[in-house]
Structure 1
Amino acid sequence: MVSTPWALPRLVVAAPASGHGKTTVATGLLAALRRRGLTVSPHKVGPDYIDPGYHALAAGREGRNLDPFLVGAERIAPLLRHGASVPTPADIAVVEGVMGLHDGAVGRRDYASTAHVARLIDAPVLLVLDTTAQGRSAAALTLGMAAFDPAVRIGGVILNRVGSPRHESLLRDALAEVGVPVLGAVTRVVEVAAPARHLGLVPVAERAPESLAIVTALAELVEATVDLDAVLDLARTAPPLTGPAWDPVAAVGGPADAERPLVALAGGPAFTFSYAETAELLTAAGADVVTVDPLRDPALPSGTRAVVIGGGFPEAYAEALAGNATLRAELADFDGPIVAECAGLLYLGRSLDGVPMCGRLDLTARMTGRLTLGYREALAATDSPVARAGEQVRGHEFHRTTTDPRHGEASAWRWDDAEHGFVSGRVHASYLHTHWAGHPDAARRLVEACR
């Protein structure tokens, strides 16, 4: 496929470690640049669903993930170009990193790290530094981060949590010694914080008015403390993107039939974990996709042929989900394919923390004090609407719940010499989150199963 080079300004917001303020700076930059009249494309390294929600609110368009582990390194630049092209071409792309700049998948060196993605998209890095209790050492840290991988270009620094004007002056002088420009300085007294709970920030969809106020405050914070012209100049140093954009139609081979079955995609505050490419791939495979909110919608849309229920926080809405008894009963009897990930798995069980759920699967679920988190390389254990037995898929887990039993007689996946998840009739449910851009055949199989 021939592609015209695109001089898309872009940069990666990174940090030496988690907790330095990447999300604060990235979200504030997105909102501040949008307030300047620019069309901004928001992206997030890694599998996280929550930060892209804040990005989307700030930028006014879908927040999208760039995760080499989930989709393959070869798709990262094409996915960036796709995301920056729809619904309209962006003026600039801002990519928020994950963890520390060089932290990759466990046991794979820097694979799937922020540094890895910065190399794949050939973008300069804007390093956010928590300068609490640091002076000249901040310059040594920056120099070390840059020298560790010379292929990653740190083009500037944002000083975060600066204690005083004298502290800022000391930091600027030290960074000048190592030749790294300071593009902004945020003091401790004006820091804006979003509310958090057991799996990180509270998703945007759960606190829409408050989230909008936070994003507005972050925009004002960045406008007051960051040199936006210098940030734009840095983003413009990225060379043109030369490869083609990812194409969902090409990924699934296009629709196989004139009939367009209706696929219901769970959404609303309880089910916020979904990648934008899921709906795009289903549409490209020939489905009409409609969102259903299990908290509020009493029934599936008329004519629904399949249901996809992604992740989220059903534990925070268990009573309200239980109160929608008509939808629970419909899902218990629904005869089309159902694909459920994590929160969807819990919702399809008999109960969650003793509160009744759909009862479609013979399991109970409860909260625990243990966080299960990490990438997984899984083999499909059973033929299902989204995978053939023996097919290898990459995904991730992110939950503090457990189910009894842990897996069904026919399990969904196998990894680490253990069975995981449930395949029951036309239902496929497990804790594994997957990004369908990495295995688009899932969308094609699901649409074919509808027919």
Structure 2
Amino acid sequence: MTDATTPWALPRLVVAASASGHGKTTVATGLLAALRRRGLTVSPHKVGPDYIDPGYHALAAGRAGRNLDPFLVGADRIAPLLRHGASVPTPADVAVVEGVMGLHDGAVGRGGFASTAHVARLIDAPVLLVLDTTAQGRSAAALTLGMAAFDPAVRIGGVILNRVGSPRHETLLRDALAEVGVPVLGAVTRAAEVAAPARHLGLVPVAERAPESLAIVAALAELVESTVDLDAVLDLARTAAPLTAPAWDPLAAVGGPAGGDRPRVAVAGGPAFTFSYAETTELLAAAGADVVTVDPLRDPALPAGTRAVVIGGGFPEAYAEALAGNTALRAEVAAFDGPIVAECAGLLYLGRSLDGAPMCGRLDLTARMTGRLTLGYREAVAAADSPVTRAGEAVRGHEFHRTTTDPGHGEQAAWRWNGAAHGFVAGRVHASYLHTHWAGSPAAARRLVEACR
């Protein structure tokens, strides 16, 4: 790569499957770790709004895991965001993109929009298809052909056989795929599988179990090294055409830093608040903020000089008692008079209680776990002016939670979608269940910095 605008022959590939649960994360994370062990600089990416898989990717690659989601940021930003992520902090030798759900599964009601196949087209990358071969023989070849023929613009360059039952089973599968001209680049047996522990919203985030997560990533690296032809994978990645889109630039996205001093913005982190996009802090810094991290589980106070707080998503329900025990920070957040932006977990933390455990009490709501999963993309309209929105503004976001709040929205709601009000705007607080990707609405970062002044 020479600069952010000239074509860049970045080797890259997309790891996909025919459905969820077939081994995409195992293969993608193992590839990232194994390629890094070879001394390569690897850029990790994830299709869709997922926060948890990128944590494992980051651990494997040694740099931030980033999301590529056309629904949240717009199709025209996908290639620029890939190029940006592969450039920061240093240019990558190869990029590995893990898909979402099945290869052709996109936003509900929108055909293949925001699917793994859609992203593969947008970044002009070959697909490495992970096949769950449980109770399957020659039909694996037919499935592969069908996945390829469904969208001829998507190029399946090879497959990884997963959950292979025996050497004989592997031979049968390889012979069948050879018949249709699709190379097999690796085979993982059922006995060799490595799994990360799961919870009600997916895998347990890396930050919650760092030593165990390191061991899992190391095991995945060894698994891929012993079962996958890494040279063939790299050869496939090198068939990607040069990236011609210029790199996304957070400074340009926010229009340059706002005038004045650099207000300190505290962003929640630690095990209870792991859901965030790397571009959020980049945009805040580009807008002129001094971004620092606060861990509501352990830090007794906001960082000195904090003038705004951003509290993203995570699993506060798993840490409710510990969060409640940090009474000093809860009291400070309750009394804080600067702008506060909260999404999902942040909304729960600002309420009076979560499953009976006292929270900050900044918002007059109670929250509790339920047995119902609320999940999906949302097209929202801002219901009021706030530190990050202007009334009437359209935003795309995503919901992902098993909790509910009482009431479900404030006297002044944050958003409206599907004819209903959602979230809370109270003074300088903006809080709701909606997760947003600020690369798709960068004005939010600039407005928050300006609101600090």
What TM-score do the two structures reach when normalised by structure 2?
0.99
- State the Cα deviation string for residues 68-96 of structure 1 (Å, max 9, x = none): 00000000000000000000000000000
> Where does residue 40 of structure 2 map in the other structure?
38
Q: Deviations over 1:320-341 (max 9, x none)?
A: 0001000000000000000000
User: Which of residues 258, 261, 265 is equivalent to 1:259?
Assistant: 261
Aligned partners of 1:157, 1:417: CA distance in 2, in Å? 44
CA distance in 2, matches of 1:421, 1:409: 9
Q: Secondary structure at the match of 2:39?
A: coil
Question: Is 1:176 equivalent to 2:215 in the alignment?
Answer: no
The 2-side partners of 1:444 and 1:256 are apart by 7
TM superposition shift of 1:50: 0.1
Tell me the residue number matched to 1:438: 440
Task: Provide the residue aligned with 1:362 in structure 2.
Answer: 364
CA deviations on 1:25-44 (whole Å, 9 max, x unpaired) are: 00000000000000000000
What is the distance in 2 between the residues matched to 1:303 and 1:226? Answer: 51
CA–CA distance in structure 1, aligned partners of residues 439 and 180 of structure 2: 41
Q: Secondary structure at the match of 1:32?
A: helix
Query: Deviation digits for residues 127-147 of structure 1, max 9, x if unmatched?
Result: 000000000000000000000
Output one character per residue of 1:55-112: Cα deviation in whole Å (capped at 9) or x when no partner: 0000000000000000000000000000000000000000000000000000000000
Measure, in 2, the Cα distance between the counterparts of 1:87 and 1:98.
26
Q: Helix, strand or coil: the match of 1:84?
A: helix
Separation in structure 2 between the aligned mates of residue 256 and residue 217 of structure 1, nearest angstrom: 46
TM-superposed CA distance for 1:256, in Å, is: 1.7
Normalization by structure 1: what TM-score? 0.99
Counterpart contact for 2:15–2:128, Cα < 8 Å: yes
Separation of aligned partners in 2, 1:18 and 1:302: 44
Aligned to 2:402: 400
Q: 2:24 corresponds to which residue?
A: 22
| Cα distance between partner residues in 2 of 1:401 and 1:28 | 33
Structure 2 CA distance for aligned equivalents of residues 268 and 215 of structure 1? 20
Shift of 1:394: 0.1
SS in 2 for 1:347: helix
Q: In the TM superposition, what is the alpha-carbon distance from 1:263 to its structure 2 partner?
A: 0.1
Q: CA deviation at 1:160?
A: 0.1
> Are the equivalent residues in 1 in contact too, given 2:264–2:305 (CA < 8 A)?
yes
On the 8 A contact 2:127/2:155 being kept in 1, the answer is yes
Residue among 275, 278, 298 paired with 2:277: 275
Does the CA-based 8 Å contact 2:258-2:449 persist in structure 1? no
Tell me the distance in 1 between the aligned counterparts of 2:120 and 2:180.
Answer: 21
3-state SS of 2:87 partner: coil
SS at structure 2 position matched to 1:317:
helix
Q: State the distance in 1 between where 2:22 and 2:200 align.
A: 19
- State the distance in 1 between where 2:19 and 2:328 align: 46
| Local SS of the residue matching 1:133 | coil
Aligned-partner SS, 1:55: helix
List gaps (5 residues or longer) in structure 2: none
SS in 2 for 1:372: strand
SS in structure 1 opposite 2:131?
strand
Residues 403-448 of structure 1: per-residue CA shift (max 9 Å, x gap): 0000000000000000000000000000000000000000000000
What's the CA shift for 1:165? 0.3
**What percent of counterpart residues are identical?**
90
Which of 334, 340, 343 in structure 2 is aligned with 1:341? Answer: 343
What is the CA-CA distance between 1:258 and the residue it aligns to? 3.5
CA distance in 1, matches of 2:440, 2:5: 21
In the TM superposition, residue 17 of structure 1 has moved relative to its aligned partner by 0.4
Shift of 1:376: 0.1
**1:390 match:** 392
- Partner deviation per Cα, 1:125-176 (whole Å, 9 max, x = no partner): 0000000000000000000000000000000000000000000000000000
Question: Is the Cα contact below 8 Å between 2:263 and 2:290 reproduced in 1?
Answer: yes
The alpha carbon displacement at 1:3 in A equals 1.4
- Partner of 1:10 in structure 2? 12
Q: CA deviation at 1:346?
A: 0.2
Deviates more, 1:338-347 or 1:253-262: 253-262
What secondary structure, in the 3-state scheme, does the structure 2 residue paired with 1:211 have? Answer: helix
Secondary structure of the structure 2 residue equivalent to 1:268: coil
Aligned position for 1:203:
205
- Please point out which of 57, 68, 71 is paired with 1:69: 71
What secondary structure is seen at the aligned counterpart in 1 of 2:298?
A: coil
Q: Deviations over 1:265-321 (max 9, x none)?
A: 000000000000000000000000000000000000111000000000000000000
| In structure 1, C-alpha distance between the alignment counterparts of 2:107 and 2:403, rounded to whole Å | 23
C-alpha separation in 1, matches of 2:5 and 2:411: 48
Tell me the C-alpha RMSD between the 2 structures: 0.5
- Structure 1 CA distance, aligned partners of 2:269 and 2:252? 26
Q: Equivalents in 2 of 1:321, 1:432: separation in Å?
A: 22
1:355-382 alpha-carbon deviations (Å, 9 max, x no partner): 0000000000000000000000000001
Please tell me whether the aligned partners of residues 266 and 306 of structure 2 are also in contact (alpha carbons under 8 angstroms).
yes
Checking the alignment, whether the CA contact within 8 Å between 2:270 and 2:296 is kept in structure 1 is yes
TM superposition shift of 1:243 = 1.3
> C-alpha offsets along residues 226-257 of structure 1, whole Å, 9 cap, x if unaligned?
00000000000001001100000000001121
